[in-house]
Amino acid sequence: MTSSLQRDERRSARGFTLIEILVGVAILAILSAALTPLVIKYVNDGRRARALSDSQAIGQAIMAFQLDTGMWPVNDDANLTDAGELSRLVGLPAPINAALIPTGAGTAGNWDGGGSGGTAGSLQDHLIRNQTAALNPIYPVSLSAPEPPGWNGPYLKQIPLDPWGHPYVCNVRYLDGSRVTTAANEDDHAVMCLSAGPNAAYDTPLDDATQLVVPLVDDIGWNIQGDQTP
């Protein structure tokens, strides 16, 4: 009995043999290769779920804004009753750096709000701060409920970047009654709060020739107006 115990103690003192180490490494490599795709899938699924949740929260904040003010967040001057000027609201602080916004599909209007894409405003300015460098406030503040109607935010605590580090964008120009474009275009277009997704490019077109589009390819978003299919 003593001899057997001594042999076991000597074997333990020597540690693992080279073959045992190699077998252990091989097992770990096999497990890693098998589990890595599952881990990546769960991470990507989680990011997509967060992007959808964020875009829905932004869209619902815009709807709450409209219920309070009786208008859509498209104003960028001192006149609330003229034709609205903003085509996009972007999840970046003003002044907006267009280089930080993914480029978009469509030739007549890009998601970055530059050139023929129209003017872009900051989601923070309209939903959280109610002011820009030139206007304070942008919209009259609600003094009492329910009348007169007015801005009663902030409607969100913050505007996050999407899980891939890019801003969300909302094509507010097509909101019914926004006055930015024609009534026919308003009726024919979906209005989305959208993430460009993992490829960091808006695959969903946004121009006056596109009707009732829904998020395409890997874009992720929530529709304020139009087809609600994700």
Encoded tokens for 218? 């890997």
Residues pairing with 202 in the sheet: 104
Mean pLDDT, residues 72-88 taken together: 86
Per-residue model confidence (pLDDT) at position 17: 76
> 33-42, 51-60, 91-100, 181-190: which range is least confident on average?
33-42
Q: How many CA atoms lie within 13 A of 29 on its CB side?
A: 6
Query: Mean of the per-residue pLDDT values for the chain?
Result: 81
For the chain, the three-class secondary structure string (H helix, E strand, C coil) is CHHHHHHHHHHHHHCCCHHHHHHHHHHHHHHHHHHHHHHHHHHHHHHHHHHHHHHHHHHHHHHHHHHHHCCCCCCCCCCCCCCCCEEEEECCCCCCCHHHCCCEECCCCCCCCCHHHCEEEEHHHHHHHCCCCCCCCCCCECCCCCCCCCECCCCCCCCCCCCCCCCCEECHHHCCCCCCCCHHHHHHCCEEEEECCCCCCEEEECCCCCCCCCCCCCCEEEEEECCCCC
- Is pLDDT larger for residue 14 or for residue 103? 103
Residue 108: pLDDT band by 50, 70, 90 thresholds?
very low
Mean pLDDT, residues 44-69 taken together: 93
Domain topology for 34-225: Glycoprotein, Type 4 Pilin (3.30.700)
pTM for this one?
0.79
Encoded tokens for 197? 């997704």
- Is pLDDT larger for residue 195 or for residue 98? 195
Q: Hunting for tokens 């000597």 — which residue is that? A: 10
- Is pLDDT larger for residue 42 or for residue 191? 191
pLDDT tens digits, one per residue of 112-128: 665 555 788 999 999 99
Residue 106: pLDDT band by 50, 70, 90 thresholds?
low
Residue 190 has pLDDT above 70, yes or no: yes
Peptide bond preceding 148 in cis form (omega within 30 of 0) = yes
Mean pLDDT, residues 15-19 taken together: 70
* Rg for the chain, CA atoms, rounded: 27
Mean pLDDT, residues 19-29 taken together: 76
The angle at the Cα of 83, spanning 59 to 178, to the nearest 5 degrees, equals 25
Residue 37: pLDDT band by 50, 70, 90 thresholds?
low
Domain regions of the chain by residue span: 34-225
Encoded tokens for 86? 């903003």
